[in-house]
Amino acid sequence: HREPGLAGAALSRPDVIVQLIVDGVHLAKDTVRLVWGLAAGRVALVTDATALAGQGGSGATLGGAPIEAREGAPRRPGGVLAGSMLTMAEAVRALHALGAPLAEALEAASLVPARVLGAGELGRLDVGLPGDIVVLDDRLEVRRVLVGGRIRVEA
């Protein structure tokens, strides 16, 4: 009780990027709010999505073992958690719904992970930078994906 532990140390150090899977399964909503309150601006949204992401159901495998969607997440036989079904757009929506300003939630999905990779040219739009873009509508649903300036997906 006298030492902060790994999570406490990460939250207290301004030079540490904190990664969150905001799918409602990996972390409780209050945990996400707590982390955001302590580490906004250095939170990177991540997803450990499996083949079930965006589709649910069953019929997928992970490491050769069958997985199926149960209790909001992919699970192996016996109920062991096997990743998530979280897409990045869903992660942005979830973080924003928990109180993060939209611009900051979008940065947690783009600019902050680019910083982790040491790729400052990623995660932002400017002349001469890579121009891959995900276009979201007012409900934060994916409407279009452009890669290298060309439409790859249009909903």
Active site residues: 48
Q: What is the DSSP letter of 95?
A: H
CB 120 within 8 A of CB 114: yes
How far CA 112 is from CA of 80, 95, 106, in Å, comes to 30, 14, 9
85 CB-contact burial (10 Å; exposed 0-12 / middle 13-18 / buried 19+): buried
**Measured distance CA(151)–CA(32) in Å, rounded:** 34
Beta bridge partners of 144: 135, 154
